[in-house]
Structure 1
Amino acid sequence: MSRQQFLATGEMDPFFTSWAYQDLAQIAYEQNELAKAQHSLSQALALRAKPEEGVHVFSSGALIHARLLHACGETQKAQEMLMRWERSTHFSWPLSTIQVLLARLHLALGNLPAVEQWAQYAFSPQTSTQERSLPLLYQQEEALLLARLHIAQKRGEIALQVLTPWKEKAQAQGRGRSVLEIQILEALAHAAYQEQSQAQTPLLQAVKLAQPENYQRLFLDEGPMMESLLKTILPELRNPSLLSFVRTLLRAFARERDVLSPKEETPSRVSMALRLHIRNSS
């Protein structure tokens, strides 16, 4: 019997209410409103006494929770949580998503050997056809992470080769957010290939796409290289809205660098980061 949105009492099923709160958390995260994202996630988790018991990872809140933990400086906790889910997940689709996010965290920490190990498995010819029969967006997630690995290895030309077919697919299907993410990676790939002037074109396009929706984390999650690139396009910006958006991103980079410096991760530092975001959004 399929799950119904409303219970016999006429009240909304907590499953769907929880899912809605997770969507709100994801939107707030994308806009770098971390305190609001944490609040929505807490409301989602409060609807279940034991969030991880008998719950699918996609409906558990674990993925957005991991991103929030990392953004607030608790990357180790994010990794530990994802590894618990990895051990208990046996289906290829959710397992791929968990492993991609884990590898992304390793990449953010500069642990290239761990990301290379993921890539060797994910793109190995020996991997079974069934394991690789992922939906298009899951395949795209893996491809974009592979491009990020090439960028980190200073192989920007190879990264661009990986990105090109996925950008064409996203444009043909009208998937604007995917196009935006790929343009950001194109800019980073050109920079890694020592093509600073070529990096500005896709970055300017990405800023124009991101500003109306206030997509900030797509830039912030790419780290210091993106911060440097954004500084290079400031003189090129004439539109006040775009200029304000880029300055907002640069201030966010500065806050994260100051508050989440590479020290021991503690709850107090996370609380400090969240308080800072609350103050700046009020």
Structure 2
Amino acid sequence: QQGRLRASATLWRKALVVIEEREFRGTLPLPLIGWVYLRMGEILYEWNELEKAADYLSEGLERSKLGGDVRAMIAGHLLDGRLKLASGDILQAAECLEQAGVLAENAPFPDWIGRFGRFQLEVWLAQDKLRSAGDWAEALLQDNRFEGQLEREAAQLTMARALIVRGDITSLERARTSLKRLVEAAQGEGRTGVQIEALALQALADWKRGERPGAMIHFENALRLAEPEGYVRLFVDLGLPLARLLQEAHVRGILPEYVEVLLEAFSTDLSTVREGALPEPLTPREQETLNLIAAGLTNQEIAEQLVVSPETVKKHAASIYNKLGVRSRTQATARARELGLLN
């Protein structure tokens, strides 16, 4: 909640020492032990220490199952899914999500709806199910079963990300309005974790709108809050659009050592980031044109849908090709898919 990863890690490590000292007496309940391992695993995941996180997950999930703690088992399956997704195994990640979903359906835990929903969105985005992600996120925000502020905020962050991925002007404005409120509330109440994520999403929304100065202000604020606690996966899990902001931060000399750590954390699939071969941001109209090109529409059909002339469409297409470094529709579609630009 407060985003204080290092203090939390110290707390859980002390708890593990107590467990090792007392476990042989059988005085500690298994579910409690399971939670300690899982919480430590979640922190290690955020620090991108994935192998260590997997070890703690295995131990925590086993203890949770033995103790019959369904809530802890849900947390374990979601962490397992994140680890699978981080390794590029989308199929296994979806299976972990399904396991968590079955448990959640059979045991009503309203306080898990928002967090469960965020991972559902990540899986759908990884599967390129963008329409499903957008429709589902809209429904999530209308859900009346949320318990407490944390779950409502988790849903709002999920919705904002879905709107940013959608990418049209109306959606981006909705995301920016919602995120502005979230940042102000989180800042006022000292919830650093929420503030960092909301600022990062604000930066993505501004960047996608072509408002680079505003995007970098929000992004630098997010980085300066995140660096002392060592956040990594919060940024990496937002994908290549976030990597473009990191590249810009690197060029500007913003927290260079920390930014380098974050860039290195991206998978080899994002090697273009390290080579500096990033495109200029597309304008909202270019983004719409690119989506229609990828959908296979002709220039005339695109012109009719956007209510512009075919010549204007050709100008947008030429600008898109130039920014992506391609020469044809097919190349533009492939490059855009590689960069995660298609909605």
Does 2:132 align with 1:114? yes
Distance in 1 of aligned mates of 2:265 and 2:213: 24
Q: Which has the higher contact order (CA 8 A, sep 6+)?
A: 1
1:57 equivalent to 2:71? Answer yes
Q: Is the aligned partner of 1:206 residue 2:222? A: yes
Between the aligned partners of 1:184 and 1:96, the Cα distance in structure 2 is 19
Q: Tell me which amino acid in the other structure corresponds to 2:120.
A: L
1:45 aligns with 2:52: no
- In structure 2, the partner of 1:246 is 259
How far 1:114 moved relative to its partner? 1.2
Matched, 1:78 2:93: yes
- Residue 177 of structure 2 corresponds to which residue in structure 1? 161
| TM, length-normalised to structure 2 | 0.65
Show structure 1 runs of 5+ residues with no match. 259-282
Distance in 2, Cα, partners of 1:206 & 1:23:
23
**Residue by residue, what CA displacement relative to the aligned partner does 1:77-129 show, whole Å, maximum 9, x if unpaired?**
121222233234242333443233212221233311111221232234xx5x4
RMSD of aligned C-alpha atoms? 2.4
Q: Assess, with a 3 A threshold, how the Cα gap between structure 1 residues 237 and 114 changes in structure 2: closer, same or farther.
A: same
Q: Tell me, which stretches of 5 or more residues in structure 2 are unaligned? A: 1-18, 272-343
Structure 2 CA distance for partners of 1:230 and 1:67, relative to 1, 3 Å: same
- Which of 75, 79, 82 aligns to 1:67? It is 82
User: Which is worse superposed, 243-252 or 38-47?
Assistant: 38-47
Task: Identify the structure with the greater helix proportion.
Answer: 2
Separation in 2 of the partners of 1:99 and 1:185?
17
The aligned runs of 1:16-55 (5 Å cut-off) are 16-47=32-63, 50=65, 54-55=68-69
Alpha carbons 2:240, 2:270 under 8 Å: kept? no
**1:35 and 1:178 mapped to 2: Cα distance?**
26
Q: Is the 8 A contact 2:138 2:159 kept in 1?
A: no
**One of 143, 149, 155 as aligned partner of 1:142:** 155
Among all aligned residue pairs of Structure 1 and Structure 2, give the percentage whose two residues are the same amino acid.
28
| Secondary structure at the counterpart of residue 266 of structure 2 | helix
In 2, the alpha carbon distance for the partners of 1:19 and 1:159 equals 34
Distance in 1 of aligned mates of 2:35 and 2:244: 37
Question: Aligned partners of 1:39, 1:10: CA distance in 2, in Å?
Answer: 22
Worse overlay, 113-122 or 171-180: 113-122
- Which moved further from structure 2: 54-63 or 149-158? 54-63
Q: How many Å separate the matches in 2 of 1:226 and 1:145? A: 16
Please identify runs of 4+ aligned residues in structure 1 that moved more than 6 A. Answer: 5-8
Supply the distance in 2 between the matched residues of 1:63 and 1:245 (Cα, whole angstroms): 27
Q: What is the CA deviation profile of residues 214-256 of structure 1, one whole-angstrom value per residue up to 9, with x for unaligned ones? A: 1000110010011111111223226xxx211101111222535
Partner of 2:299: none
Larger radius of gyration: 2
> Quick check: 1:58–1:94 contact (8 Å CA) kept in 2?
no
Amino acid paired to 2:227? Q
Aligned-partner SS, 1:215: coil
Deviation at 1:148, TM superposition (A): 0.6
Q: CA separation in 2, counterparts of 1:40 and 1:145?
A: 27
Give me the TM-score of the superposition, normalised by structure 1. 0.78
Aligned-pair distance for 1:10? Answer: 5.2
> Is the alpha carbon distance of 1:95 and 1:175 closer, same or farther for their aligned partners in structure 2, counting shifts above 3 Å?
closer
Question: C-alpha displacement at 1:206, in angstroms?
Answer: 1.2
Residues 8 and 73 of structure 1: CA distance in aligned 2, closer, same or farther (over 3 Å): closer
Q: Secondary structure at the match of 1:144?
A: helix
8 Å contact 2:161–2:201 — kept in the other structure?
yes
Aligned residues, how many?
244
Q: Is the 8 A contact 2:204 2:242 kept in 1?
A: yes
User: Is this contact kept in 2: 1:157–1:190, CA < 8 A?
Assistant: no
Q: What corresponds to 2:117 in structure 1? A: 99
TM-superposition CA deviations, 1:5-55 (whole Å, max 9, x none): 98894543222221111111011111111011011111213335x46x943
